[in-house]
Amino acid sequence: MIFRRRIEINSVSGNEIRASLEDDFHHFRVGLNYLNGTVTRVQGFGDRYPYSACPAAADPLKSLEGMSLTEIAHSVTRHTDPRHQCTHMLDLAGLAIAAASRRDSRLIYDITVPMRNAGRTTATLMRNGKPYLEWEVEGTIILKPSLFEGVDLTHGMASWAIKNLNPEMSEAALILRRSVIISRGREHDLDLQDHARPTGVCFSQQPVRAAQAIRVKGSTLDFTNSPEKLCLQDQDWLQGN
């Protein structure tokens, strides 16, 4: 079994950009308007999600309105508290903001993370259809390539990547990091949960709402043999239709 994630970002006009994300566990979209280097409107949409509370995270996502465009996607975590956001919509909004800052017209990331064997896996990321990153990972540590050797995916990687890599590479590395971490959900039957756990790490898992964030059973899909289906239903919307 292979965990797959696709992210598609498309510039609709000179002041609007749209982005879509789909993987085994999630399907979210974010629409962004901007003017004179400033975010003027953010819309989030939940199409498939693990907990019933997830779509309501579109409301706190609006806290990004008024933020300056920046080519560092991770900057959204400095503008708003990520613990009170949907992790995936916030990531997607950050990528859309960065793409708008760079004036990218179209950008596609495809990520694959095979199930681990003896704690190891080889994760890959393609950027616009071309191989871009490949990591050999054991536990939470990157073993190869040498540029990333010894980096811990769960401790300080964002700061390390932004400091040591150029913006394009750091963006891809943080996308791949998120995917490797999320892929471990495949090691458990998430439908055994009744509701979100009160970990406090994201919107649905805040203790104040975790018990009411009911598990959406059957929401996990398998794209091992059908990567072409990822974000397929978003194509018209991404074009502005």
**Tell me: the pLDDT tens digits for 137-175?**
999 999 999 999 999 999 999 999 999 999 999 999 999
CA 223 centroid distance within chain: 17
User: Looking at the domain assignment, is residue 234 inside a domain?
Assistant: no
Phi, psi for 144 (deg, rounded to 5): -145, 150
**C-alpha pair distances (Å), 53 with each of 102, 203, 204, 235:** 33, 8, 6, 26
Amino acid at site 82: P
Place of tokens 């465009």: 69
Average pLDDT, the chain: 96
The H helix count followed by the E strand count for the chain is: 5, 8
User: Looking at the domain assignment, is residue 189 inside a domain?
Assistant: yes
Helix, strand, coil in percent for the chain, rounding step 5: 35, 30, 35
- What percent of the chain has a predicted confidence (pLDDT) above 90? 98
Phi, psi for 151 (deg, rounded to 5): -70, 135
What is the mean predicted confidence (pLDDT) over 204-223? 96
What is the mean predicted confidence (pLDDT) over 51-67? 97
Exposure string over 223-235, b if 16+ CB within 10 A, otherwise e:
beeeeeebbeebe
**Angstrom distance (rounded) from CA 41 to CA 191:** 35
pLDDT band (50, 70, 90) for residue 241: confident
User: Looking at the domain assignment, is residue 210 inside a domain?
Assistant: yes
* Boundaries of domain holding 53: 1-222
User: Looking at the domain assignment, is residue 161 inside a domain?
Assistant: yes
Look at the chain and report how many structural domains it folds into. Answer: 1
User: Looking at the domain assignment, is residue 184 inside a domain?
Assistant: yes
User: Looking at the domain assignment, is residue 27 inside a domain?
Assistant: yes
**C-alpha pair distances (Å), 27 with each of 32, 120, 185, 234, 236:** 17, 27, 15, 10, 16
| Amino acid 128: pLDDT | 96
User: Looking at the domain assignment, is residue 228 inside a domain?
Assistant: no
User: Looking at the domain assignment, is residue 139 inside a domain?
Assistant: yes
CA 17 centroid distance within chain: 16
Tens digits of per-residue pLDDT, 95-141?
999 999 999 999 999 999 999 999 999 999 999 999 999 999 999 99
Contact assessment for residue 118 and residue 96, using Cβ atoms and an 8 Å cutoff: no
Global confidence as pTM = 0.95
